Structure 1
Amino acid sequence: MEFDNEKMLSVDDTLEKVAELLNEASISVKDSVRLSNLKNVQELIVHKNPELLDNFLDEILQFQLDKSGEVKKFVVSFIEEACKKDSETIFKVIDNFRYLLFDENVGVQKRSYLAMINIYKNTLKWVVRHQSQLSEHHKQTWYTILDLKNHIAAQLDSDNDGIRICCIKFLEVLILCMSERLKESIILHTNRSDFSVDQLEQDESELFNREDMKEEGRYHLKKLLEYTLSNHISSVNLITSICVLSNLAKQRPEFINTVLETYSKILANMPPTLGKSQVNAVKKQMKLQIQSICKSSLCIGFVTELTNLLNDLGCSTNEINRLIPKNLVAESNKKRVNQSQHGSDSKKTKFDKSQEKSVESLVEKLRNKENVADLVLVSMSKLPDNITPKFSQEYKPISNAGTSQQIRQLAHMMVSFMGDLSDSQPILTVDDEDLDEEEDEELKFKMKIKAEKIDYSESTKSSFNRQQSLTTTPSKTLPSNLNKPASNKTFKLNDVTNNISNKFNQEQIHDLFNKTYKRILDSDEIISKNKEACIIRKKTLIESTIIDTYDQNLMNYVFEDVKKRLDLALIWVFNSYIKLKSAFHKRNVLENTRYKLENGMEIKEEEEIIEVGKDRMEIVEKNEKIVNSEIEICQAEYDKILNLILYNLQTKKDQKDMLFSKFITQVPHLTENALELLKEACKDKEKYLFNMSTLSELIITRYKQRNQLIQILLYFTGLSNQILRENACAICLNLYERKQFSHVIEDYALTRLKYLDEPTPPSNIINEMIEESQELLDADSWNEDMIKSCLYLYLNLMSVNHKLINGLTDVYIGAVSEIKRVILKTLEAPVKKMGMESQELLKLIQDFPPNSETLVLRIIHILTEKTHPSIDLINKVRYLYSSKLPDVRFLIPILNGLTKAEIIASLPQLIKLSTAVVKEVFNRLLGINANIPIHKAPISPSELLVALHQIDPASCDLKTVINATSLCFAEKQVYTQEVLANVIQQLIEINPIPTLYMRTVIQSLTIYPKLSPFVVNMMQRLIGKQIWKNAKVWEGFIKCCQRIKPISHQVLLKLQPPQLKEVFQSAPDLKEHLSNYVQSITPLERAQITTETLELIEQT
């Protein structure tokens, strides 16, 4: 009975408290008060006394009309909590909830969507359990909830990111509710009571149909997956979707395969709108979700997919092994075998063994950048001139191209499209390592000849007549093995034509040749459907072209449609190159024979060059001359053809087809003239970017000519042309990250830097500048352009390799003044990139070599420009100042990092510097400079001015202090009337009064005349301090009295007669002013003035 009474009293107290809180909330104008009261009410009637919920439900729902969005969101939260407590509450508040869900405030909408998650789950569960007892009102409410559900599910297309997040989370609940919970499902303790379709007792009822619900769940999952894989999805939405899909996979194992496939597709094709940091965030979240799946029993059967995903996300093998132990792998494989035996995986098998081999082969080849580049270039030649509308509509950019997942996916697509890959190899394969003439290339040369199935042994003659003479009467002095084919007996055209040529005269032969030549050139018009045959016929033409005049005809033919006939130009160049290699091979054989003869070694039967008894060495020497002449002819021919084609390609007006790059990157060897042409091409104002990129590619891919190519690139790093120089430096920085290039680039940069140690510029620098500017230069002295050309690359590298700052410091110490000036001028960009966290810079600041003070000071200034100094930098400079170099200039950049005491202690030295420097100091201290972010200054404006007045005259002369205070007064936006009044107030408290006190008072009055009444009060206080005992201050006091007329009488009448007499002697105008004042006052006021003072005033 006592307990019931206590409960009754408690309920009564609660009723009274709730009523009081609601009344206060209804009349309060502050949102915070209303929210606080309503939250207290919720705690009382929902959690502590839920039986009171119905009593105050309507009163709280009235606040849905409140203007504040926060109050409306509370009402949504209240409805959600009330429905959690009692599921039937929703039938009373459904109209209120619907009103809030369609509110104009987006924040209220989002809160309503999130509340709908719990409301839908709880209501669905209640309705399923009470199907047979539902009233018409209950059914109508349920239909309303279904309408709201459909509305929220359709919000994936909303323009608001937050609403889409809420929609994704709501879809997760729908999918879970509309799917079956399996034994393998991983359900959190808090979600065990949630509804799933397997809880339906009947397959079909008035309100529910199990299959329809499952179908709807699959529909929502499909929509969620489509949105997740869309290109326009934001990073926040994508991360939310990844988490939701992970939850679905764990709670509904039937979806795990779909989820893993979706993860794989996301990695293969990231949305193009995402930035680098956003992509990293997405991958990080996906990695976490995959790890959580790996830690569960769900990973059995999906180890391969999970391993591939973790590999693509950058996990190491050790990490993967920790996440997926070997026993799980074995168990997973066993499960897959069992499934395959039962035919469960038959639909998933897309490739047979041969196709899998093809995929692996393609993956390996697609990882080679050269192969990919070749594929792109070959494909571009077959593209139409204009983009088709269908392509524009269907094209989706691949944002994450180049990943292992994307490469494998591409390989699968290619195999599916093409079928099994052919084992055939390309006919022409020339490695740039063939360029070494001194290397024994006999084996490689024979392989090339074998692949070509053509004998080039007699194709190096330069004229028709010479060819005819050689074929009719072959030389007996050449070694027989030099004319042997590198393979089995092959067809030789000369063997057939030798007899024919004897039957025709020269004119007939030329006529036949002209007709044949023209017919082959025109063959592409006749057999355009068989391009391979066309190329073979034209290659035959090139092999047979032995008359110089036909070179130009062939060149004209190629450039009539160079885009389609570039392959012919490449065949032409390769053919000439193989002739050259053949000649080198002959020389190698002769040199080998000479060596054996000189050392008495046995010569094999196939190496016999003449009959026994002949002078073998003499024959070798004679043949060497012939072969050397042949090499010269072949070199000239190759160089001529190559440069003619390159020049024509480069001078083409339209370079969009990238033919110059395609051609120069495929030719077997670049001659000196070709390299010079490439160098000139990189200077082209319209095509420099493209040609520079080509140069970079050649440097990476051409091992044998790398040194020559990189010297061309390095040449551009010293030009005064900013566009070319910056582009070249950027490429050098990229190459510098690779070990094979770093030493070459750094050595070149250091060599250029060391030139600055010379008293006059070296000749190569002079020549470079003359070549660029086409003007004569003074070779006896350094100018700014020359100095910069030696610094550009080194400074760029310094921003990457901070240790290079030491080399620059060494050069700076010994340099002349002009070089030092330029170094200080160009130092800003690299030092800013290095940043004040650079340990090399901090080491230099702490322990710099002698005579490098100005360099270090410049570095400190650059580091602290537009930003605050770091703690490490402050400590280094503080240590430097206190122990090694007490130069106050070093403190200026870090002033804002010093304490107030340190600043005040350094003021005497700081204000001795030039006026411009002192002004910079004050700007830093007062935060006046707009380039420096707003911060809390270590010393206030009033404290600074007071500190200046307190400087000991022994450490700094008075004139210097006056100049410093004048700079302060000039900053009127800082030294306002209030600040100066505060300064005057502080200074008067100092004993003795500072010498410049009255000067400061007078300057303050000059700037702000309204300070006069305040100054009068201060001067009256000075009289009590016997100001006349300090001559300089007393002099200023009298001048101030003159300044504050006509109210100065208030001060003068406070003075004793002796001091007043002294004032009258120094300033007679004050006596006249005071006399006029005394005559104008009433007798009563005159009576308050002493007799002595009146007599002194009236005395003539």
Structure 2
Amino acid sequence: MESSEILVEPLGGSDSLADKIGELIREAQSASDIKQKLEYLNKAQHLLLSVDSSGHLLDNFLDEMLEFTSSEDFHMRCFSANFIEKACKKDADILKKAITNLSYLLMSGSQSRGGVMVMKRVITVCANIYPYILKWACSRKADAEAEKCWEAFSVLKGRIVSHADSDNEGIRTMTFKFLEAIVLSQSPKTEESDVSRGEDVMSLSDVPRDHRFISYRKLQSEAAINLQSLMDQTTLPHISAQNLLTVLNVLCNVARRRPEYMARILDCLEALHINLPPTLGASQVKSMRKELKAHLLRILKHPASLLLHPRITTLLTDLGASQSEINRNMPPNIAELRRKASKRQTAAEEPAAKKKAKSDEGSGVVLDDDEYQDDEPSTSEAGPPIPDSAHQSAIDITAEWIYERLNPKLVANLVLISLVTLPDEMPAAFASSFTQIATAGTEQHRRHLARSMATQATAQELGPGAEQMRKEKLAKFMERQSARRDGAFIPPTPAVHLGGHQKQKPPLVPIGALPGPAPAALPAVSKMKQQFNIYTNTKELSKEEMEGLFECCFMSIMKAERRARQGGTMSMHHVVLVRIATRFHPLPEKLYNELIEFIVDATQHRYRTDLALLWVTELYSQYQGFTVCFNHDYMSSFGHAPKSELFAKFDTTLCNLLQKLLDKGQHKEALFHKLLLDCPLVTTNALKILEKACLDEVYCAFGITTLRELLLTRNRQRGELVDLLFKLCFHERAEVKQLCVDTLKELCSLKYMHRDLRLKLIEQLNECTLPTPPPHFVSYNHATEFDETIYRSGIHLYLAILPLDTSLLFPLAQAYTKSSTLLKKIMLRSIENSIKAIGMDNEDMLHLLEECPVGAESFVARVVHLLTERHTATREVVSRMKKLHESRNTDVRSLIPILNGLEREDIIRILPLFVLKPAYQNSVGLVFKKLLTGRNVDTGEPTLSAPELIYEYHKVQPSTPEEFEVQTANLRELLDSRAMTREAVADGIERLMDLNPLPALFYCTLVIVYKKYPSLDSFLGNIVQKVIAKDLSSRDEITRKAFYRALNSLKTVAYSAILTKFTMEEFEEFLGYSNRAETLSALKEFLPTLSTHQQKNINSAIVDMIKDRDEKKDKTKDDKDREKDKERERIRLDRRDRERERDKKERRERDSR
């Protein structure tokens, strides 16, 4: 936002300016809209950074402005980053407070909306302010706060550099820009550095070498490493076109502004030109070549590129640049530059020739300073840099070797060989990017081709140059080691001068090799000044001193973790700690405990997982004899110890780590999980600790998850792990049992684990049939005998897996035959859910029905009953159950589930068994329900309809009075069935009229129907008349008695038939089975209701008996009235009871529906 848009009114003094800024910040804090917040904050920023020239207000309002860093909106976070950049450019002291906010913005960027944009903005800000921060830190040598701030920014710098391999393309692009800022700020600036794009704020030349907390050489080394990282990006096959263009731009910018790197960067560009990433498209390749050509033309103009012109022009020619275009981009004063270069080369060759004449080693490859591994810094003087690294020399040697052998015959042979691998058609990408080489065949092009091939060979450490480099490096190393053993003086790393030659290195002189001064020259004999020798100038320490130093050293190494993490050497830090703790000295108990506490630290344990694993792995390697590198004394004292002691040490260390994590409640953390998963061996004691974690009241799920992963990965210890999983199922907590069931279900779905788990399930099921429970059954409750809880826990897992593996059905039936009575009851009650989940069509289910083990018939009957509760039995199930019943003579109740699948004759045959036997009376209702509501497997209709069932039920002949009573009692249950309608009952009674004589049960049916269905009174009256007319009740005394009792119960329904159809003898017999006076009185009341025709058909003797005139004369009129009232009251109460019973029945039917 421009100043004219921000300031709308003039401001007075500093007080009014401060008030205005404070008011804007308060309005921004209270505003709800993000646009308004940003508007107020931009105004406040302008006043702080542009209007206020004193800088005091910036310091006063800095905390308020930085508060917006924690805003949830990414626009506000980006504004905070921009404000920090502008504020640091104005006053770098601001970074002391702002470094925390920058770190927060970078770390929390990926965890919020718009986080990628915030991270990119933070990286850009750090790249822009890095030169200012370095310059500010260099000017504050004695400032402790500046030192802390620089250390914090160094950590932030390391975090940003780690994003060079980020998955996000934009973040990688910004990271490359940040690396450019590091390289430019941490490398020396020369006279030939390109400053056309602005003056460098900071360079390595401005860093004092005596700075207290900034190392000159460390900055220089970091710049070289980061530059190499940028060049390595060009060799990645998966780099995107956008990032490759960014890296190319960064490298070429560094080459122009820091000419000392120009030769290395040119090598990189040559390799890139030859090996473009294969993921680039045709248009991207074309764009990349165009960009590379433009950058090379700009480098060609640079004065420092004069010695590299042959290589640059050859590369430009390959890219399609014309000679006129190359000539236009040559430096304007090229003749003068050539003269200066010639003089410089002549001046450099003279001391180099002297050095070569004096040297005993002859000509060899000059090694880099870093290869000496000295701590002394090397000095360099200003001037045009000449590449003298060992890598560059190896390329030169290999290029010369290739050039000498690059003759036409060899090239022709190479072309012929490569023709075999060429495709039939030219690829489109090659066709679009191919440019004909104008200088093909010239010496310049041959040298360019040889150097390109040498660059690739040296990168793979191939060729004579790489071989010679290795030999030279090894010779130098051996020479220095020999000198150290002889106690010779070793000079610091030689410095590189302007012309690339080195200062004369003094020879390696052993102590005492030089002769002393002549005796006559001095009055007294003086001793020769000896060099320091570690073997002669030191004395052996005592045991206490060595232990103290060892303890201090060990603690110092542990405390150096933060520095190791910042430097990227955490793995080496872990290796040093573990080797000291296990190979060279028996670790004291104090340090042993300190190391364990160090690993399981509550805040840092996530970073020390590798350390813990390395420790236990080293101990296991010693136990197995894999580790043979020991200190001699340690080897003699402990290395030859029995394997049992070595294993005990490994076991103790592993268990101490796990137990400490468990005690601290950290068994839910990744360290506990990885220790068990990645350690070489999970010992028995470690499994006990894992068991405790699995039984934790809060985090038991984490422990069982670890156990699951161990089962998946530890094939050799699977038996122990499976035993632990099954043991946990006997714990009383339902949550633990359910987690074990879920885990076992998941594992059983894996083919390679299914067999072992199946065998363990069968084994545990068979253990339930033992007389006493095994130890792992009672490890949690310490019981001595089986009870219902133990039995249920023992079969819980088996029944849970049964639907997943139905082959377990048959072993379950076999175990049932050997089980106790209690276990059988529990099995029959517990299998319901598992059996219903399997279904009737399962092959294992049918196999169980066909091959039922002897003694498991009741188990099979229960299984079939559960399967047919809501589904009709299939034909396969019916046939197998029927066969089982016939072959084993099983209980007839086992046929109840398949009644609808049986033939009509089979049902009629077994019906008397249910109806007449008292032992089966509890199953009679279920039989009636199955027959009335079920459907036949083949027809889809009931095998016996309701009328047919009534008919067949009455045909059952009881042999004893007790059986008749049982049959009569079951009759009411049959007629009370929900499926038994009024029409079905009437139809059944009509069918029964075809029987002659009628069974005695028929008359009981009439009475029950009379009470249940009042609407059938007329129908029942007609039935009675038919019975009397056909004389169907005269079979025997029992039948006759039942008939008369039924007539007595039917009352008015049967009165018409009694009066019109009975003879006097039959009437007298009827009165003998009833209350004579009450019956005659009721008949007298009923008589007037008959029609005249019916009255004429009544026997006169019966009429006289009813009227009984002689007896009626003696009675008074009042007695007659009282008798009539009683009879009417009795009829009314009888009707009321029948209506109430009918209403109750209807309500029950409605409720059941």
TM tier relative to shorter chain: 0.3 to 0.5
User: Please, what TM-score do these two structures have when normalized by structure 2?
Assistant: 0.45
Greater gyration radius: 2
